[in-house]
Amino acid sequence: MKKEVKILGALAIIVIVAAFVGANYYRKSIQSERQPTTADSALVRPDSPTMGAADAPVTIVEFLDPECESCRAFNPTMKKILKEYDGKTRLVVRYLTFHPNSAVAATYTEAAGEQGKYWQMQELLFQRQTEWGERHGQPAAQQQQNVPALFEKYAMELGLDLKKIDAAVKENRYAAKFERDKKDGQSLGARQTPTVFVNGRKLARLNEADLKSLINEELKK
C-alpha cells in the first residue's frame, strides 16, 4: 500500500512539473510570435503604399516593377482578389526597379500618390505599358527620349499638378526608397517581379488559385 502511495505521489509530481514546463514554454512561444522579426520589418515599411483595411487579418506584399510585363498581367488578378476578400486582405506595394524606365515610372506613381492618385497612376501606367515600356527593336535612346513626355501626358490626364510632379522627378525624391525596397526584397529572397508574400509566406506559383489557397489558409488560423 505504501509503495503504491509513493508511486502515485511520484507520478503526481511529474505531472505538475510537466504542466509547469509546458505552460512556461507556451507563454514563451506566444511572446515570440507576437514580437516583430527582421523579416516583418523588411516586408512592410511605414511609407509603403497600401490598399485595404489596416486591420485586415491577411497582408499581401507584392514586390513589383511598373515596367514588368508579368506585373501588368497579374495586376487585374490582384485587384480581383482584393475585391473578393474585401475587409480580409490588404495589399502593400514594394518596388524592384529592374527595367530602364521603371524607376521613373515609380517616381511618377509616388508623386501622384502625394496628390491622392497613387492607384490611378499605377493602373494607367500598367494599361499604357506598351507605349512607354522597354520594347525590342527600338533603340534605347529613342525610348528614353519619349518616356518623359508620355508620363507628363498621363499626369495631365489624371489632373495632377505638373509642377509638383516635375519637382519630384528632378529631385529624384524616392531614389532612397527604391534602393531600400530592393535591399529588403533581396533579403527576403525576391529575385524577380512580381514576387508575392501572404502574411510573410512566399507565393510559390504566380496564379489566382494558389494565391487564394494561401489566403484561405491564413484566414483559418
- Longest Cα separation, the chain: 98
pLDDT of residue 7: 53
**What are 52's three cell numbers?**
485595404
Confidence of residue 110 (pLDDT cuts 50, 70, 90): very high
Q: How far apart are CA 9 and CA 121, in angstroms?
A: 73
**Per CATH, the architecture of 49-220 is what?**
3-Layer(aba) Sandwich (3.40)
Total-model pTM: 0.80
pLDDT of residue 70: 97
Q: How far apart are CA 208 and CA 131, in angstroms?
A: 27
3-class state of residue 197 by DSSP: strand
Alpha helices in 35-161 (DSSP H): 38-43, 69-84, 102-114, 118-127, 129-132, 140-157
Which phi and psi angles does 191 have, rounded to 5°?
-115, -10
Q: How far apart are CA 198 and CA 210, in angstroms?
A: 11
Q: How far apart are CA 92 and CA 65, in angstroms?
A: 14
pLDDT of residue 184: 98
Where along the chain do its domains lie? Answer: 2-35, 49-220
Least confident of 14-23, 43-52, 61-70, 176-185: 14-23
